[in-house]
Amino acid sequence: MRDAARAAGEVLVEEGAEQGQGYGPRPVPGIEGHPELAAHIAHSLIRDDFDLTLAHEMSVDHGLTVPLSLLFGDVERWPCKVIPFHVNVVQYPVPSGERCFRLGRALRRAVESYDRPLKVQVWGTGGMSHQLQGPRAGLINREWDNAFLDRLVRDPAGLARVPHLEYVEEAGSEGIELVMWLIARGAMSDLDAGGEIEVKHRFYHVPASNTAVGHLIIENHPRAGTPAGKE
């Protein structure tokens, strides 16, 4: 499967090193991908009308390695396979919250249709309110951030309709990174498959390197009889 997928140019990432952020790479292990699942996800998302750029190798940054470190600590090798999914939130045009939300729903369908039993976590990463340059550098908006966390749980479809301009006005130029959280939320089965979700952990803190930091861990409880609900 790996060789066939590689020849077709449709494997996502098989491995990736930490690229650093100005001060050099963080001293953490490189990631190990899951080419078979990645290829399956790619095929499924393309059929769902999402145009992907596929890569065999990809450098990753703090947006992935910091969450891995928080979860697993100081290790010589990450104890899980990782499929990095890069979303453009730097160069105009960036995807809307609605498109990211739809992508998450398509991602759930892709994972559920994979024919091997796996436990899968979907992470949406990106800073909360922050701005790194210009007259508003250092901007933090606690109220907006916490309202975002509330709506992400209770009203994700409504939150997905928030326009880009509101992110920039209320959460700073880098606050647009939050649209990536909508991908993870869209992957929960309470939206389409009649399941339920449970908030296991919520955390918010400022400042962290001039950035608001939030954590939200949501556990999926799929409805029995659905692909994700089968033992």
- Taking only the tens place, the pLDDT of each residue in 45-73 is 999 999 888 888 888 888 899 999 999 99
Domain residue extents for the chain: 1-86, 92-231
Report the alpha-carbon distance of residue 87 to residue 95 in Å, rounded.
Answer: 8
Query: Mean pLDDT over residues 68-79, rounded?
Result: 94
The pLDDT of residue 1 is 30
pLDDT at 208: 77
Cis peptide before 156 (omega within 30 of 0): no
- Name the token pair of 225: 């009889």
Are 129 and 175 contacting, i.e. CB atoms less than 8 angstroms apart? yes
pLDDT computed for residue 16 by the predictor: 64
Mean pLDDT of 6-35: 66
What does the pLDDT read at residue 24? Answer: 72
Q: Which fold has domain 92-231?
A: Protocatechuate 4,5-dioxygenase; Chain B (3.40.830)
Q: For residue range 157-173, what is the model confidence (pLDDT) as tens digits?
A: 999 999 999 999 999 99
Is pLDDT above 50 for 111?
yes
User: What is the set of active-site residues?
Assistant: 62, 130
- What is the b/e burial string over 95-123, where b = at least 16 CB atoms within 10 angstroms of the residue's CB? bbbbbbbbbbbbbbbbbbebeeeeebebb
In the chain, the percentage of residues whose pLDDT exceeds 70 is: 86
pTM: 0.87
Among 103-117, 135-149, 167-181, 199-213, the minimum mean pLDDT is found in 199-213
pLDDT value of position 227: 60
Q: CA nearest 178: which of 93, 63, 50, 46?
A: 63
Higher pLDDT, 212 or 15: 212
pLDDT band at 8 (very low <50, low <70, confident <90, very high): very low
Question: Is residue 25 predicted with pLDDT exceeding 90?
Answer: no
Structure tokens belonging to residue 208: 């962290």
